[in-house]
Amino acid sequence: MPSLDDIMKMAQEAQAELQKAQDNLDTIEVEGVSGGGLVRIKASAKGRIIGVSVDESLLQPSEKGMVEDLIAAAINDARAKADVAANEQMQKITAGLPMPPGFKMPF
C-alpha cells in the first residue's frame, strides 16, 4: 500500500500532467464548416476562435440572415470538434493514472 507521501507525489504529478495537457489544447486546431464549406471557423481545442472565412459569394446584403446562420453553425461545429479533441487529449493523459472507477478529470 502506498504511503501518504507517495499518494501526494502521484497527485502532484497527475496535476502537472493535466496542466500540460490543458496548455497543449490551445495548440490543437480544429475547423468547423457549414454551408458546404462556404463558411469555415478555425478554433483551438480549448474553444478559442482563431479565424473566420466566409466565401465571397455570400457577401450580398440579401444573404445577411443566411450568412449569420452559417457562421453560427460553423462555430457550433468547431466547438463540437474542439470538445472531441480536448476529450481525446485528456484521455491520453489520464489513461495511465490509477483512479477509482467513475472518477472524472479534470476536477
Neighbours of 49 (CB within 10 A): 14
- How much is the pTM? 0.64
Query: Mind listing the pLDDT tens digit for each residue in 42-65?
Result: 998 888 888 999 999 988 999 889
Strand order, beta sheet including 39-44: 29-34, 39-44, 49-54
Domains of the chain, earliest start first: 27-94 (3.30.1310.10)
Query: Mind listing the pLDDT tens digit for each residue in 81-105?
Result: 999 988 888 787 767 666 555 655 5
Residue 82: Cβ-neighbour burial (10 angstroms; 0-12, 13-18, 19+):
buried
